[in-house]
A and B are shown apart, each in its own frame.
Chain A
Amino acid sequence: MKLIMAIIKPFKLDEVREALSALGVQGMTVTEVKGYGRQKGHTEIYRGAEYAVSFLPKLKIEVAVKTEVADAVIEAITSKAKTGQIGDGKIFVTALAQVVRIRTGETDGDAL
């Protein structure tokens, strides 16, 4: 099993979610985060007080998937979240040791 964490531009969420649904991925966790990579921030000015803001709003999506579908999921996220501009984000994949569905107690593959 893999835990796939993707940092994407916020407006891409719906497209990514639809694509993952089509692949049979039935759940995800989304967090609002701030971050930067090589994308420049912006400058805010309030009555002469200037603030260079390097952190930009992003979304972090986390999905737990069976290893067999991991590559398809990564491909789906990559193609839907891409705009071609700097700041599209990154995907991090880690090995998932254990999964439990709380309601039923099912584990691992049955819980995904």
Chain B
Amino acid sequence: MKGNIVKKLSLMGLAGAGTLMASAGCAFAAATPKIDSGDTAWMLTSSALVLLMTIPGLALFYGGMVRKKNVLATMAQSFGATALITVLWMVAGYSLAFKGSNPFFGDLSYFFLKPLGLTAVSGTIPESVFMFFQMTFAIITPALICGALADRMKFSAFMWFMGLWLIFVYCPIAHWVWGGGWLMTAGALDFAGGSVVHLNAGTAALVTCLVLGPRIGYGTENMAPHNLALSIIGASRLWEGWFGFNAGSAVTSGFNAGMAAAATQIATAAAAVSWAAVEWIINKKPSVLGMISGALAGLVAITPASGFVDPTGALIIGLAAGAVCYTSAVWVKKWLGYDDSLDAWGVHGVGGALGAILTGVLASNAINSSAHGWLYDGNIHQMVIQLEDVGATFVYSGIVSFIILKLIDVTIGLRVSPEVEVEGLDINLHGEIVR
């Protein structure tokens, strides 16, 4: 659990610096707090990797899956979210997520990052790096929701939704689990964001597609992906960048990061195999879209578990994620009939919840000393906490996302007009096309 380790190391760092000053007996100003250059180098790299997951990873992944007339608009959502969330994170987001001792909401003590000085330290790295790293998580989480609202949302409504959702949904939940809030105190295990990122965004996605309603022609018109090659490239970028996401959540460069990276790779590949296998059996052909979706399901499910499980645990999580998310994205969606255009709920929501629950089962004290899981450590109580985490995230995200959407709907309207939707978003919302 990042926050506790961060706090302990910060205190140790300060104590160490204080001892150094006292023993030197000098009248200098306080010594510059100690940072580890290995940890810092890794965390800078991780931040760039996670940013790469959104731009261009998510942009390409989603962009390739929509119809050609909407490809630019879909990618614009990833880029637009990146730009807006960065600014809002700097202004208030970081503060609301990571500062303040209230168990439910952070405070604005770091408004505009005023107190964040050059030499501020967080654990063994500069706090500027920690802030930036967390920023990239704050960027990708709302951007994931695009999957459910593809092809039919106004850009203005989308940007308002991104901003309000960051402040009122992402920051509180991040605060609960990582920023010293109640779920962290209760001992919820979420290494890199199974609930904070994926279940959270997935739930918001489900709510969004239900509020927006299905695309015109859904079920009858041909809405086949216009260029799966783009999606494959995007999924590959996501896979690669995810090492920053999971192994970077160790906030250090060492044993934890190493095992988290291994677990990530194993689970992802296993999920790609299991989705492809299920599809091969049912459809007689394994599709490329299936393979990359399987990989994504594995990435999502291993996210909360990555720093807590051993390779076998990772394998199990991956195999389960491929099969379970295939079921939710293909069958359940068809059965219930909602238009979760790019399966943001089916993969991220379901995968995130599955991962969070399996984390409780498979977390091992031998892998991470702050974890006591059910199977290896006999701690069945961890399952209760994980379920609380899943439940609270689902309920809070669902309700508040709904409120925000309705607010935007009654003020500026969420959905484009039917004419715009049929002609295409690229030309109508942005004045640009791809030929």
- The chain A residues found within 8 Å of chain B, CB to CB, are 44-49, 51, 53
Which A residues are in CB contact (< 8 Å) with B225? 46
- Taking a contact as CB atoms under 8 Å apart, the answer to whether B293 and A48 are in contact is no
Bound complex: CA A99 to CA B343 (Å): 56
A48 touches B330 (CB 8 A): yes
- Report the minimal beta-carbon distance from A55 to chain B, rounded to whole angstroms: 10
In the complex, which of the residues B283, B293, B333 contacts A45, with contact meaning CB atoms closer than 8 Å?
Answer: B283
Residues of B bordering A, CB below 8 Å: 65, 222-225, 283, 285, 287, 289-290, 293, 329-331, 333-334, 343
Our pick among A44, A47, A49, A53 for the contact of B293 (Cβ within 8 Å) is A47
CA gap between A81 and B147 in the complex, in Å: 45
B224 touches A44 (CB 8 A): yes
Are B289 and A46 in contact, with the CB atoms below 8 A?
yes
Q: 10 A-B Cβ contacts within 8 A? A: A44-B224, A45-B285, A46-B65, A46-B287, A47-B293, A47-B330, A48-B329, A48-B330, A48-B334, A49-B224
User: A46-B65, A46-B289, A47-B289 given. 20 additional CB < 8 A pairs?
Assistant: A44-B224, A45-B285, A45-B287, A46-B224, A46-B287, A47-B290, A47-B293, A47-B329, A47-B330, A47-B343, A48-B329, A48-B330, A48-B331, A48-B333, A48-B334, A49-B223, A49-B224, A51-B222, A51-B224, A53-B222
Kindly name the residue among A44, A45, A46, A48 whose own CB sees the greatest number of chain B CB atoms within 10 A: A48
> Across the two chains, which residue of chain A brings its CB closest to B285?
A45
| A46→B287 CA distance, assembly (Å) | 8
CA separation between A74 and B184, bound complex, in Å?
79
Distance of A82 from chain B, by nearest CB (Å): 30
Residues of chain B within 8 A of A49, CB atoms compared: 223-224
CA distance A47 to B285 in the complex (A): 12
Give Cα distance in the complex from A51 to B225, angstroms: 11
A94→B136 CA distance, assembly (Å): 64
- CB B297 to nearest CB in A, in angstroms, measures 11
Bound Cα distance from A46 to B347, whole angstroms: 14
Distance of A22 Cα from B333 Cα, bound (Å): 58
B251–chain A nearest beta-carbon distance, Å: 35
Max chain B Cβ within 10 angstroms of own Cβ: one of A44, A47, A48, A51: A47
Tell me, rounded to whole Å, the shortest Cβ–Cβ distance linking A57 to chain B.
14
Chain B residues, Cβ within 8 Å of A51: 222-224
Measured in the bound complex, the distance between the Cα atoms of B282 and A45 in whole Å is: 12
Name A44's closest neighbour in chain B (CB-CB): B224
List of 7 A-B pairs having minimum Cβ-Cβ separation, nearest first: A48-B330, A51-B222, A51-B224, A48-B334, A46-B289, A47-B330, A47-B329
Q: Give the complex CA separation of A16 and B213 in angstroms.
A: 51
Provide the residues of chain B in CB contact with A47, threshold 8 Å: 287, 289-290, 293, 329-330, 343
